[in-house]
Amino acid sequence: MDLDSRETIFDLTETTFEPDEFDDGRSFALDRVSDNLDSFHDQFPSADTGADLTYDAWPAEDWTPSFWTGLCWLAYDITGDDVYRDVASGHLDQYESRITGELEVDDDSFAGNTQGVLTHDLGFLYSLSAVAQYRRTGDERARQIALRAADYLADRYHDTAGIIQAWGDHTDPADEHYGETIVDCMLNLPLLFWASEETGYDRYAAIATNHAEQTAAHLVRDDGSVHHAFEFDVETGEPVGHRPNHGAEYGDDSCWARGQAWAIYGFALAYRYTGNADFLDTARHATAYYVDNLATDFVPRWDFDAPETHMRDTSAGAIAACGLTELASHLPVADPERHECEQLALATLASLGDNYATDGEDSNALLTESWYASSDEVDQHENATIWGDYFYLEGLARATTDWEPYW
């Protein structure tokens, strides 16, 4: 789908951002990562901050610790300073303990999941930790840990339905999440694609491809917007339908901005691994919807169907910036859509740095107005998320260096 054929609220066809325009934002982000090294050398920032914009120290539980490890690898990639590499690689023991069950994960989101492996988020957890370490250092132990994580992720696949179950016990039909998948899983698939490349075992990639196809067919609406959560009958393979009560949307049939960003980035990555033009078209279709509904400062509201005054989500903007850059890399150089995607990504990063950075505040985070969940009662400005910070620096790395992804 041609972005230029859509009605958009802005025109970037004549806009050009230069990499050096992001030097100040990148320096701020790197300084903040450096300042956090002592606090989080053997622990991890909490998933979000609350109004004080300060991360607490957590063990390697929940789905988010690898975003801090990933921030350290990004800082190493950008600067070449071994101090960041040493902190990031020092986390490997905890990721190994999680995958072997030696590290008990005991929190509400992983109830009954003492190994911390009953989740599709193994892709997030191990792509930005063990895979990143192997890609950058060739560490064989990191490779083996990542492959073991890929095995656990592949175990969550329901063959008949062709989907990876998001949460809960995938072997228990009584589990409330049995047969349920979410659009976020598109960013977990690179772990499986990578595992096939490493081992020559095609089943990992086949699972990832099948899941992406089912996501495109059932979670992406005709207008390019996405559902968050969707249920399948794992016995018959038939789609049951959207599960709005399990998703993050503002309304039953609305479109969660971060989910839209996951779709843009996830399908662009799926195309990179498979060359399947349908995945590229799906990424473009999702992008067209995103562009048509984006706020004028390039940072989306939590949900595109929420009121204009509803909370923003800078993490969605940061994820989308990375996805747009990935998408652009797969389009012909002469295609105007490539330039528009590149410039929209840069415009988003510029807005995040100019309008939402914590620079000058008493904070150990990077971006404000980033949220774990929607609420009409929260302060509309003061919150940060560790994944929002990660994707902001990844976007800056993409914008200013010849960066090779961990995904």
Task: Specify whether the CB–CB gap between 250 and 306 falls below 8 A.
Answer: yes
The mean of the pLDDT values for the chain is 91
Residue 243 lies in a domain: no
Separation in Å, CA 240 to CA 212, 224, 232: 17, 20, 5
15 in the same domain as 144: no
> What is the helix (H) or strand (E) element at residue 58, kind and residue range?
strand 57-58
List, for residues 123-167, the tens digit of each pLDDT value.
999 999 999 999 999 999 999 999 999 999 999 999 999 999 999
> Using CA atoms, how far apart are residues 28 and 262, in angstroms rounded to an integer?
26
Catalogue the active-site residues: 121, 184
Residue 268 in tokens: 């662009």
Residue 217 in tokens: 């067919």
Q: How many domains does the chain have?
A: 2
Residue 232 is predicted with a pLDDT of 96
390 in the same domain as 308: yes
Question: The whole model's pTM is what?
Answer: 0.94
Task: Specify whether the CB–CB gap between 103 and 60 falls below 8 A.
Answer: yes
**CATH number of the domain bearing residue 266:** 1.50.10.10
403 in the same domain as 326: yes
Give CA angle at 156 (128, 318), nearest 5°. 35
Indicate the pLDDT class of residue 377, thresholds 50, 70 and 90: low
Residue 28 lies in a domain: yes
Look-up: residue for tokens 């690689």? 89
Residue 373 lies in a domain: no
Domain that holds residue 109: 61-155
Domain boundary at 155, 181, 215, which?
A: 155
324 in the same domain as 285: yes
- Is the pLDDT at 45 greater than 80, yes or no? yes
The set of residues, in sequence order, having a beta carbon less than 8 Å from that of 38 and lying 6+ positions away, is none
Residue 96 lies in a domain: yes
Residue 137 is predicted with a pLDDT of 98
- Is the pLDDT at 14 greater than 50, yes or no? yes
% of the chain residues with pLDDT over 70 = 90
